[in-house]
Structure 1
């Protein structure tokens, strides 16, 4: 019954996005993006090829509305999606995809420093050399999205915290830019991100209980190497 309700909700979300989309490209990007995130939350490997379609569509959308950081981000997303596709199929044993892992403290520090430095540099470049609408917010969301996508590609639980923050900020930014369908999409993304966090945490607890996360030396399904 739960799966049926989720499927019905997904169809309703797609219909709503299609109705609010101003162009066919926006509808295609949003619907495939929604499907990809839903499949990701369910740890389904088909999330990656579906996501590649969405990434290509969003590249052209963001270029048109001068959100250049988000446009450039799609190139990184394309590469990380292929990377994630490969990683999820490695170290999985008899499972369909590799098990969920946790982020190490060292990696968290590295990513926080990267977030601050990259946002400042990217935002400065956008502000000084382009006609970007909201340069620093655009850059912050872009860098945080890149970090969240990297962690997602490694199937790290904490990736969902990053996506929840990205979704909240993106709803406001895309509404401000008049991309109503994309803003609506991110409202749905927020709900799916919360669902994904709960589901992945449940999977991790079932695998490891309340023990410490696997360390980087514990094999292919273990922690993250910096």
Structure 2
């Protein structure tokens, strides 16, 4: 049932993107991004090359409209996607991809501290030097996205908590800004993220039976 719901969400998202996209490049970027998230939830290695197509497309989209901060963010995603592709294919034994691990306490504390510092610094810069309407929320979402992508690249279960937080906050932010189609798309992302969390956690419990693997 969980897999069918995520597949229905994928189809709904593709239909929404096709209906609302203003250019072919925008449609390709959004659809490949959505497919990449769906494949990631299914622990499929093709999530990475598909995601790289999306990242490259968004890089050119943001460059064309002079959204240089968002363009720079794609560089982080590109590097982490290549890194994730390599990591997922390492230490996998006879499996198709690397087994899911849990985050170590020290790593979680370090990322939590970095999240606060980076959000405050980035949010302050946006507030002082740009006309951003929600600078600190925007910064928090961006920093959390990078951290969630890092954990995803490491095949760490807790990455989905980061993506769920990003999706929930993005839904609210885009609805507040009147971008209803984008908000609906993030509802679909949220459903897939929840599906990914449940699927990865089930796989982890099956393999480790309560044991922990630090990251």
Tell whether the structures are fold-level matches, with TM greater than 0.5.
yes
- 1:44-83 equivalence runs, <5 A: 44-62=44-62, 69-83=69-83
Question: Cα deviations across residues 156-208 of structure 1 (Å, max 9, x unaligned)?
Answer: 00000000000011122234445444333211110000000000000000000
Question: Taking structure 1 as reference, are residues 70 and 174 closer, same or farther at Cα in structure 2, changes over 3 Å only?
Answer: farther
Alpha carbons 2:115, 2:143 under 8 Å: kept: yes
How big is the alpha-carbon RMSD for the aligned residues of Structure 1 and Structure 2?
Answer: 2.2
CA pair 54-176 structure 1, distance change in 2 beyond 3 A: farther
1:48, CA displacement in angstroms? 0.5
In the TM superposition, 1:170-181 aligns within 5 A as 170-177=170-177, 179-181=179-181
Bigger mean CA deviation after superposition, 136-145 or 70-79: 70-79
CA drift at 1:67: 5.8
Greater shift in the superposed pair: 30-39 or 67-76: 67-76
**1:62-211 superposed matches below 5 A:** 62=62, 69-177=69-177, 179-211=179-211
Larger deviation, residues 46-55 vs 10-19:
10-19
Matched residue, 1:219: none
Q: List gaps (5 residues or longer) in structure 2.
A: none
Give the whole-Å Cα distance in 2 for the aligned partners of 1:67 and 1:177. 17
| Map of 1:217 onto structure 2 | none
Unaligned runs of 5+ in 1: 215-222
Note if contact 1:66-1:133 (Cα within 8 Å) is conserved in structure 2: no
Shift of 1:13: 2.5
Q: Is the 8 A contact 1:89 1:96 kept in 2?
A: yes
What is the TM-score of this pair, normalised by structure 2?
0.90
Per the TM alignment, residue 70 of structure 1 is displaced from its structure 2 partner at its CA by: 3.5
Contact in 2 for aligned 1:88/1:154 (Cα 8 Å): yes
